[in-house]
Amino acid sequence: MDFELNEDLRLIRDMAREFAEKELMPRATGHDRNGTIDPEVFEKIGELGFWGLTTPEEYGGAGMGSVALSVVLEELNRACASTGVTVSVHNSLLGTPLGKFGTDAQKERYFPKLATGETIGAYCLTEANAGSDAASLRCRAEDKGDSFLVNGEKVWVTNAAWAGLFLVYVRTDENASRAKGISALLVPSDTPGLTVEKAEKKCGIRGSATNVVQFSDVLVPKDALLGELNGGFQVAMDTLDGGRIGIASQAVGIGRACLEASIKYSKEREQFNQPIGNFQAIQWKLADMSTRLEASRMLVRQAAWTRDRGAPCTQESAQAKLFASRTANFCADECLQIHGGAGYTDDFHVERLFRDARITEIYEGATDIQRLIIARKLLA
């Protein structure tokens, strides 16, 4: 058994780390305060090839898998979780299902621009009344011969403001029960009737774009169907198996930033005539943070490795997300506590880490939904 990253992965990790430290860390506070990501960051991610990390090589991508993506995402999220989730959604929630379920024509049409970042991808599953219970979605696609006529509203769509391509889950059979009547459609952003609306004002990851997306009489040709007609729920769930590894990697990145900030501050801050790191109460916090982070990374790597082998990874990815997201919040809480009053102000980036960590327990399946998935597997 080898716990080392191979040479290719070490190379890509080092590239991601250098980019994150030089380009993202100095911008992360600005991204948070301005509620957007600098356009130069999008360009530089394109130059490094991270938009196309998982795009097959024949379409201009790096053709790498889940392990590589998780390694890169940990580094990006350590610096800026807003940028991290943007890259995660693009690769894992749009690129991966296109590669797995797309026709050759769909791949030829979309992959080259997705690989460079000229087109950014978004994933529209959630609706106002269909969150954890995604199978109850109501956005409709009526059969109009050569096309579908799509009507409805999607909420919480990450990347919507800058997306060129949306993967949209719609109800194509009103008579089929719940998950059985759902299909997945690839819808370009310039399709008439598709509008990006309300931008959410969020607690954390404020630089990332999260919007409501409206579909009003949107005509979508039948060849936009991704996977089988009425087979969309399987596409959505398989995609989330991969997406959750991305969010678990995000959680490890945020947790690592918390640990690093805590170590630094513990050495610098003096009380009772000594660095607070001399106190055992602080040392135990650092030890627990580090141990939980290492365990989280192991779970993430195991889930990513399982997915790259083509084996089912639903339980592994749910376990990785459950544990890593709890760990990120544990680390963020301890980090803020170690910083005392200073951590509670925006003089330090610690309060941003605290806010950013929170989302990892909510999106791509809330914590209790991960528990439900794991328990269902155990009891099957």
Ligand X SMILES: Cc1cc2nc3c(=O)[nH]c(=O)nc-3n(C[C@H](O)[C@H](O)[C@H](O)COP(=O)(O)OP(=O)(O)OC[C@H]3O[C@@H](n4cnc5c(N)ncnc54)[C@H](O)[C@@H]3O)c2cc1C
**Which residues of the chain form contacts with ligand X (CB under 6 A)?**
89, 123-126, 131-132, 156-158, 202, 210, 359, 362-366, 368-369, 372
Tell me whether residue 156 or residue 215 sits nearer to ligand X (CB atom): 156
- The neighbour count for residue 126, using CB atoms within 10 Å, is 17
Tell me whether residue 232 or residue 277 sits nearer to ligand X (CB atom): 232
Per DSSP, 5 falls in state: -
What 3-state DSSP class applies to 164? coil
The C-alpha atoms of residue 353 and residue 82 are separated, in whole angstroms, by 11
Q: How far is the CB of 4 from ligand X (least distance, A)?
A: 34
Q: How many residues does the chain have?
A: 380
The C-alpha atoms of residue 207 and residue 38 are separated, in whole angstroms, by 9
Pairing of strands 210-221, 194-199: antiparallel
Q: How far is the CB of 376 from ligand X (least distance, A)?
A: 11
Ramachandran angles phi, psi of 291, nearest 5°: -65, -45
75, 351, 361, 364: the catalytic one is: 364
The C-alpha atoms of residue 171 and residue 220 are separated, in whole angstroms, by 14
Residue in 106, 132, 141 with CA at minimum distance from that of residue 230:
141
Tell me whether residue 244 or residue 256 sits nearer to ligand X (CB atom): 244
What 3-state DSSP class applies to 325? helix
Tell me whether residue 45 or residue 373 sits nearer to ligand X (CB atom): 373
The C-alpha atoms of residue 2 and residue 356 are separated, in whole angstroms, by 32
Q: How far is the CB of 13 from ligand X (least distance, A)?
A: 26
Query: Is residue 364 annotated as part of the catalytic site, yes or no?
Result: yes
Tell me whether residue 258 or residue 373 sits nearer to ligand X (CB atom): 373
Q: How far is the CB of 265 from ligand X (least distance, A)?
A: 28
Q: How far is the CB of 240 from ligand X (least distance, A)?
A: 9
Ramachandran angles phi, psi of 170, nearest 5°: -135, 160
The CB-nearest residue to ligand X is 131
What amino acid positions are annotated as catalytic residues?
364
